[in-house]
Amino acid sequence: MLIKSISIIDVKTGNILENRNVLIEEDRIKTIDSLDIVVDDDDALLIDGTGKYLIPGLWDMHTHSNQHSPWLHHPLYIANGVTGIRDMSGQLNRKDSYWVGSKERLLWNAELNAHKRVMPRYVLQSSYQIDGASSVPNGFPDFFKLENPEQVDSLLQFYKNEQVDFIKIYQQIPVDSYRRLARRAQDYGLHIAGHKPMFLSLEEAVNLGQRSFEHGRIFLFESFPEADSLKHPKNWKTNFSKYKRKLIVNYDPELASELMHLMRSKNAYWVPTLQTLKFEANAHRMSFRENANLKYITAVRKKLWWDFDLKNNTRRNQAMGLSRLSALFYEASKAQVKLAHDIGVPIMAGTDVTDSYTFAGFSLHEELIDLTKCGLTNIEALQSATIVPAQYAKKEHYYGSIEEGKIADLVILNHNPLEHISNTSKIHGVIMDGLYYDSKKIEDLKTFTESAASSFHMNIKALYSLIDSPLIRVQFAD
């Protein structure tokens, strides 16, 4: 495959390498040159890059895949130039009807390498969310609950055997178990990532080595006078409701800044997932709710999951005394993204697919736009979905930038993303796994998922998988 006369975005420097020819053999970038490249193979694919821009494939660093993702999510990721994802879900010790685990994702990766699947790469493998006893259904081994620290090694050994890369931390993990987990994970070749554990401080979690923190509120939880009231397992939810407005009104930027400096010094990454807060802030607005991408979502998901979230957040946003509170959280989190980035906290783009009103592929472009609205430059936003996540995954020698010898996961854009970050969605073609998806094939992928999402068969499968999943049942109960 030879791309001729294209402008390459160097995501490391922000420079544009104009009028370059790029030779790809199999799935690798073999040569980049401003001079003509001679290709002897008569069957080589020639792509005219005149007036176009080449960027590395984008990575979404917070997703949740399920058993139907090959039909409902994977095509949309590729159509949107998302060639890598970090899935933040998993399973316990048996296959789930809804969630996928490391076995499925690793099999899918192998089938991608064998040219049997159209999909992004699953770049790191997650455990099930570790959230204390309430998150583990009856009939599963007790060590998943981590009710005491002695269970930590059993959990780590289990997930090491499952070829997991990290333990997904959720909010209600017991404190002593978290501490032992953080200290022992590295001995098993694993790391920890996920939510800020509610019952101990962000400072301690950073010092214990949690490598990434998810979602936009982590500094708000820590930077108001009553922060310690959220660290009591028995009443933290009550106190959160009680002090929710104070998280905004009494926010201490100096304390937040100290925590950000600590994260920078410990090389702890932040994935703000601004799309989730945007949804909460705008759920009551018809202009937000009437999204053209809803055609890619099954009726079952919209009815059983998303409509529930819409109604709850709409009621909250319209309630006396709570109006605009969600919008204030969203705006406060965006301000903290700017502050954290300026201090040097590595920011990664993530969307929280399949949460309400997050759309596979499409929402990553929205996240990049939101990051620039926070104050990141266009190149900094682009870095958050390319070289920065590749560095986090310790795969920067293979991914994250356009260089000779690297994997050729590439996106051809019609317009310069350094002029307008929204141009990342103006896609001319995608190169993935040695294959070229031109504009027609991209539309075919979108049409495929639209058709699958609207089919009776897929909706019945989706309904059954939700009802039959013990993991989903405990999640909904919580």
Counting residues of the chain whose pLDDT is more than 90, the rounded percentage is: 94
Indicate the pLDDT class of residue 40, thresholds 50, 70 and 90.
Answer: confident
Both tokens of residue 342?
């300026």
Which of 33-47, 53-67, 153-167, 395-409 is predicted with the least confidence, judged by mean pLDDT?
A: 33-47
**pLDDT per residue as tens digits for the range 139-193:** 999 999 999 999 999 999 999 999 999 999 999 999 999 999 999 999 999 999 9
pLDDT of residue 430: 98
Please, which residues bridge with residue 192 across strands? 167
Q: With beta carbons less than 8 A apart as the criterion, state whether 29 and 406 touch.
A: yes
Which of 74-88, 242-256, 352-366 is predicted with the least confidence, judged by mean pLDDT?
A: 242-256
Query: In 38-120, at which residue ranges do the beta strands (DSSP E only) sit?
Result: 46-48, 53-56, 58-63, 82-87
When pLDDT is averaged across residues 366-393 and rounded to a whole number, the result is: 98
Indicate the pLDDT class of residue 42, thresholds 50, 70 and 90.
Answer: confident
Indicate the pLDDT class of residue 27, thresholds 50, 70 and 90.
Answer: very high
**pLDDT per residue as tens digits for the range 263-281:** 999 999 999 999 999 999 9
pLDDT of residue 321: 67
Q: With beta carbons less than 8 A apart as the criterion, state whether 328 and 248 touch.
A: yes
pLDDT of residue 388: 98
Indicate the pLDDT class of residue 319, thresholds 50, 70 and 90.
Answer: confident
Q: Does residue 478 have a pLDDT over 90?
A: no
Match 């192998």 to its residue by tokens. Answer: 110
Distance, in Å, from the CA atom of 167 to the CA atom of 126, rounded to the nearest integer, reads 6
Distance, in Å, from the CA atom of 426 to the CA atom of 438, rounded to the nearest integer, reads 12
When pLDDT is averaged across residues 122-135 and rounded to a whole number, the result is: 96
Backbone angles phi, psi at 125, to 5 degrees: -105, 135
Count Cβ atoms below 10 Å from residue 4 Cβ, excluding itself: 16
pLDDT of residue 475: 86
pLDDT of residue 476: 84
Q: Does residue 335 have a pLDDT over 90?
A: yes
Indicate the pLDDT class of residue 93, thresholds 50, 70 and 90.
Answer: very high
When pLDDT is averaged across residues 72-92 and rounded to a whole number, the result is: 98
Q: Does residue 262 have a pLDDT over 90?
A: yes
Distance, in Å, from the CA atom of 399 to the CA atom of 273, rounded to the nearest integer, reads 22
Pairing of strands 269-271, 212-214: parallel
DSSP at 223:
S
Kindly give the interhelix angle for 307-318 and 325-343, rounded to the nearest 10 degrees: 100
Q: With beta carbons less than 8 A apart as the criterion, state whether 293 and 375 touch.
A: no
Q: Does residue 323 have a pLDDT over 80?
A: no
pLDDT of residue 336: 97
| Closest listed residue to residue 327, CA positions, set 312, 336, 337, 316 | 316
pTM: 0.97
Non-local CB neighbours of 306 within 8 Å, separated by 6+ positions: 297, 356, 357
Q: With beta carbons less than 8 A apart as the criterion, state whether 401 and 13 touch.
A: no
Indicate the pLDDT class of residue 103, thresholds 50, 70 and 90.
Answer: very high
pLDDT of residue 143: 98
Non-local CB neighbours of 452 within 8 Å, separated by 6+ positions: 71, 72, 458
Both tokens of residue 83?
């060639």
pLDDT of residue 229: 93
Long-range contacts of 434-438 (CB under 8 A, 24+ apart): 434/1, 434/24, 434/26, 434/27, 434/115, 434/408, 435/115, 436/1, 436/45, 436/47, 437/78, 437/79
Non-local CB neighbours of 407 within 8 Å, separated by 6+ positions: 27, 28, 29, 398, 399
Match 């060639």 to its residue by tokens. Answer: 83
Q: Does residue 320 have a pLDDT over 70?
A: no
How high does pLDDT run on average in the chain? 96
| Max Cα–Cα distance, the chain, nearest Å | 72
Alpha-carbon distances of 333 from 18, 218, 375, rounded to whole Å: 37, 9, 12
Distance, in Å, from the CA atom of 184 to the CA atom of 189, rounded to the nearest integer, reads 9
SS3 (DSSP) at 137? coil
Indicate the pLDDT class of residue 477, thresholds 50, 70 and 90.
Answer: confident
**pLDDT per residue as tens digits for the range 199-215:** 999 999 999 999 999 99
Distance, in Å, from the CA atom of 118 to the CA atom of 371, rounded to the nearest integer, reads 29
C-alpha angle with apex 80: 39 to 89, nearest 5 degrees? 115
Distance, in Å, from the CA atom of 62 to the CA atom of 271, rounded to the nearest integer, reads 8
**What element of type H or E holds 276?**
helix 274-282
Which of 64-73, 174-183, 233-242, 389-398 is predicted with the least confidence, judged by mean pLDDT?
A: 233-242
